[in-house]
């Protein structure tokens, strides 16, 4: 997705995301859940729509707290379906609630979502897609790939000469690069 490096520059929404988040490894459960939820909701829409609605998602999904979201019931589903600040899609809302429960269980099985990702790294994209489809709801090839690129588990977030990529490498090595040696 090296074209994003050129497109995002100077854009009020894409620019800050590209420069400070895209391709940057994350460990915090709420951040990982947020990114997964946004990638799932982006299906059929633009990433700019997700960035515009990001705060609405944060409010609607209790700051991406997986314990709270996993416990959502019928009233919460109805509230989310009526919330114009998010993408109001029954399947995507159901996937968010289901996936929060999956992530919650990862605490027991692996120590958390980040540890689960690390336990399966490195995989190629096809391996990741197979694993995500088996584990989560609403995660096909594009969603899984975008999620993993955005967190540095797969290459492609930045061109090698991108200033954001150079800043990232000055402080850490993305998992895909560490696996490549």
Neighbours of 28 (CB within 10 A): 12
Q: Is 72 considered catalytic here?
A: no
pTM above 0.85, yes or no: yes
Residue 100, both tokens: 């929060």
Q: Which of 4, 22, 34, 39 is catalytic?
A: 39
The string of pLDDT tens digits covering residues 128-149 is: 999 999 999 999 999 999 999 9
Q: Which of 47, 72, 116, 128 is catalytic?
A: 47
Three-point CA angle 126, 132, 135, nearest 5° = 145
Q: Is 17 considered catalytic here?
A: yes
Close Cβ partners of 40 (under 8 Å, ≥ 6 residues apart): 92, 95, 96, 99, 138, 139, 143
The string of pLDDT tens digits covering residues 52-73 is: 999 999 999 999 999 999 999 9
Long-range contacts of 17-20 (CB under 8 A, 24+ apart): 17/51, 18/164, 19/163, 19/164, 19/167, 20/164
Q: Is 176 considered catalytic here?
A: no
């Amino acid at each position: 997705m090296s074209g994003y490096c050129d497109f995002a520059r100077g854009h009020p929404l894409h620019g800050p995301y590209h420069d400070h988040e895209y391709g940057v490894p994350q460990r915090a459960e709420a951040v990982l859940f947020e990114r997964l939820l946004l990638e799932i909701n982006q299906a059929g829409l633009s990433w700019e729509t997700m960035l515009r609605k990001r705060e609405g998602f944060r409010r609607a999904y209790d700051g991406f707290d997986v314990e709270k979201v996993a416990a959502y019931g019928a009233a919460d589903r109805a509230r989310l379906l009526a919330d114009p600040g998010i993408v109001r899609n029954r399947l995507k809302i159901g996937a968010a609630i289901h996936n929060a429960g999956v992530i919650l269980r990862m605490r027991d099985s692996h120590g958390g979502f980040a540890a689960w990702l690390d336990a399966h790294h490195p995989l190629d994209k096809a391996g990741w897609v197979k694993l995500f489809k088996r584990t989560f709801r609403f995660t096909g090839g594009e969603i899984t790939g975008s999620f993993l690129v955005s967190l540095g588990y797969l290459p492609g977030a930045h061109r090698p000469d991108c200033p954001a990529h150079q800043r990232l490498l000055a402080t850490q090595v993305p998992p895909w690069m560490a696996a490549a040696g």
